[in-house]
A and B are shown apart, each in its own frame.
Chain A
């Protein structure tokens, strides 16, 4: 599986792609929502998107909103963030995120969340 990791922290990208590799997946990095759109416009190889909440330029909810109004991609989006207030979680879900991972998490949890998303397991 190829996973687009949308996160402004390079450390997070490195950690998550290491986790993904341990399960036989590959991580691709986009530093913010804007970069994610750019990547997805030019490539058609992403199975799932892991999306941070707080990022410069275009944050997670802004990405979801734009994706929703423009019907840009049907690639499933899983939030991956320290943001863990129920109101915010519900907001992300209503904007189209299909699952939600709260930092910190383990590889076990990451794989479990993939299993919960239709078509990924």
Chain B
């Protein structure tokens, strides 16, 4: 009889709770007790990363002083970065068929500022750029593009605009792959520099950081509020509102809404998709 020596020790509730609380306090992402199992592989990946022997030792490490690197690593592993090109399709149609025309109607001059506020690995902001350059090529030079995320790992990839063969087949029509990407190797495709250079990428925590005032004409804040509890959602919605120009639009993820929240944003519906507008 032999006993499996490599058997992993169960992670105690105390440890799960410690990390769940840490993540919640810093990013607002909630891991409830029933979701603790989703932290397991994430925490085990830290054992290897820090060259320790067990999650217990990782726990000990984080109970000491948490360096900026340790902090970033924990935030990176706790985020769900799932995204793909032209996610849900309509949010990108609405951009060229509804948002831009309406914004142009209410203001003749000035730049149009766009922000992808939970950009993950960049597919969203590049989909925005591709849509615009098909329909409004002349407008691009009069627009600014920003993309931010709490995860610096996701942002690094977004900045490079570097995707593998599977990434570039998720949601992306082949014609757009041909037009806006370069093949670096069998497995790697990169967004052309004319696009990567257009975007200002920066790390930004929607919950903690100070937002610019009345700056944005268009904000995409998709599939991130779902991870927040009501009080934090309310906080973020208020800040998003204040960061929008009068007449500006906010686009949420499909299935996300402001039900139960208070906001001065007005609902508008186009092609069955609800978007939110700050009154012009």
Contacts and interface: CB of A to CB of B under 8 A. Distances in A.
A99 B178 contact: no
Contacts of B170: 108-109, 112
B212 interface: no
Interface string A81-121: 00011100110010000011110111011001101100000
Residue with the greatest number of chain A CB neighbours at <10 A, chosen from B166, B169, B170 = B169
A99 B165 contact: no
Nearest to B165: A102
Nearest to A116: B173
A101 B169 contact: yes
A97 to B, nearest CB: 8
Nearest to A92: B174
A89 B171 CA distance: 17
Interface string B83-95: 0000001000000
Interface in B165-183: 165-166, 169-171, 173-175, 177-178, 183
Interface residues of A, number: 19
Contacts of A85: 183
B97 to A, nearest CB: 17
Contacts of A99: 173-174
B113 to A, nearest CB: 30
B186 interface: yes
Interface of A: 84-86, 89-90, 93, 99-102, 104-106, 108-109, 112-113, 115-116
Interface of B: 89, 165-166, 169-171, 173-175, 177-178, 183, 186
Given A93-B178, A105-B169, 9 more contacts: A84-B183, A86-B183, A89-B174, A89-B178, A90-B178, A100-B174, A102-B169, A112-B169, A112-B170
22 contacts: A84-B165, A84-B183, A84-B186, A86-B178, A86-B183, A89-B174, A89-B177, A90-B178, A93-B174, A99-B173, A99-B174, A100-B174, A101-B169, A104-B165, A105-B166, A105-B169, A106-B166, A108-B170, A109-B166, A112-B169, A112-B171, A116-B173
